Every structure is written in C-alpha cells, then in structure tokens.
Amino acid sequence: MKITWNEKDPIYRQLHDKLVELIVDGALPEGAPLPSIREISSQHQINHITVAKAIQLLVDEGFVEKRRGVGMYVAQGGPAALTEAERQKFLRHEWPQICKKIQRLGLSPETLLKGIKEGKKT
C-alpha cells in the first residue's frame, strides 16, 4: 500500500481514505483481512494510535469488522455499501464544484466526452 501524504489533511484521515480506495477498487474484497495496525505503522513509519484511529473510523462506519484476537476484516456488504457512500459523497460535495468549473470554462458535453475517450486510450 503506497500513500502519498499531503500537508493539508490529518494522517489518520489520509490513511482512512486510502483504505476506502483499496476496498472500493477491490484490492481488499469482502471478507479480506486488513493489514495489521503494527504492519501499517511500521511500513509507513506512523504512530500505531494514528493507524488504529483510521481503522476505527471504518469500523464505526460499518465497512470493517473487528474479530477479537484475529484482526480486522472487510465487512460483508462493505465494498458495495462503501462504493455507494463514496458515490453519494462525490455527488453531494465534489460534483457541484466540478459543474461550476465546467460552466466557468465554457466546456461543452462533447468536449468532455472527447476528453474521457482520449483519456482511456493512454
């Protein structure tokens, strides 16, 4: 798991978002174990409490389950529920800003579709 850290967001939030990305992308499918807190902490040289906080957010949201003495696992239905939650978050928060920028730049739907098609070729 590779993470490019930024200065803007707290580390636990960035780690949470990376784990969300891995689950939505299928790299951590339903029922899969998450890397251990110790493993993530060591690999990224961050405090284990920070890692635990990021994972606890996923547990609180219902996308990851704790199995006492065994570890953390992607919850049943977690990937589908997480994908839907991410879609809704995108539509509520990011899409309106993107639409405003599209209008501000005067981009047509045809130009946008052409850009999407060209992006798939690379």
pLDDT digits (tens, 9 = 90+) for 31-84: 999 999 999 999 999 999 999 999 999 999 999 999 998 999 999 999 999 999
1-122: which CATH architecture?
Answer: Orthogonal Bundle (1.10)
Contact 7, 13 (CB under 8 A): no
DSSP 11-49: HHHHHHHHHHHHHHTTSS-TTPBPPPHHHHHHHHT--HH
Predicted local confidence at residue 122, as pLDDT: 46
Taking the model in full, what pTM does it have? 0.80
Predicted local confidence at residue 26, as pLDDT: 93
What average pLDDT does range 3-8 have in this prediction? 87
CB atoms within 10 A of CB 107: 12
Predicted local confidence at residue 10, as pLDDT: 95
77-115 tens-digit pLDDT: 999 999 999 999 999 999 999 999 999 999 998 999 888
**Bridging pattern class, strands 71-74 and 64-67:** antiparallel
Domain boundaries, given as residue ranges, for the chain:
1-122
Predicted local confidence at residue 121, as pLDDT: 60
Confidence category of residue 3, pLDDT binned at 50, 70, 90: confident
